[in-house]
Amino acid sequence: MKRILLSMVFLLVACVGMQGQWGHFVIDDAVTKEFTAGIVRKDCQFYYAGREYPRAIIAINKSYALAGDLWVSRDFEPLYLRDVVGNMEAKDGYSGLKGFRLVGRDGEEIGVWFSQMKLVTMVERVGANGVKVYPPEPEREPIGHEGVLSH
């Protein structure tokens, strides 16, 4: 019994210690419509993850710096974004792609995410204005800056 109580206290302390470091995802139909319509947010920098084709696309507000080298930066024009989203739907065999808002520890919107619902992972705040967004598995290894999209 003492072990269980001690474990619960440790878990509580660990959770409180982590509070504020991690953000979360909020499913948002408006974000889904933005991506499928090819709407490019001018206040965001776009990135994608995927070895054979984009598995996820994120748009991070330019007031944040994306940490790590797990994503490939990409400038999108509206028509090209719509084409890439259409190819993602074709590769996945169905239109189960969804948009999400990336929300920081204080409720601020860090950016948006677009992928299959089952591929959503984690967002972590790093320092004052940094953010690390973990791409879906197996895309979590650095993929270089050339990526799979050439245009």
From residue 18, alpha-carbon distances to 12, 14, 121, 131 in Å are: 10, 6, 17, 15
Instruction: Give the pLDDT score at 150.
Output: 54
Helix pair angle (29-37, 78-92), 10° resolution: 110
Average pLDDT (75-82) is 96
pLDDT at 16 over 70: no
Helix (H) / strand (E) containing 14: helix 2-18
Q: How many angstroms from the chain centroid is the CA of residue 3? A: 38
What are 25-63's pLDDT values in tens digits? 899 999 999 999 999 999 999 999 987 788 899 999 999
- How confident is the model at residue 94, as a pLDDT? 57
Q: Residue 106: is its pLDDT beyond 60? A: yes
Can you give the pLDDT at residue 5?
Answer: 40
Give the pLDDT confidence score for residue 138 in this predicted structure.
57
| Residues 114 and 37: beta-carbon distance below 8 Å | no
Residue 143, number of CB atoms within 10 A of its CB: 18
Q: Which two tokens stand for residue 120?
A: 């959503």
Cα Dmax for the chain: 62
pLDDT in the model for residue 80: 96
**Contact present, 103 and 22 (Cβ < 8 Å):** no
Structure confidence at residue 18 as a pLDDT band (50, 70, 90): very low
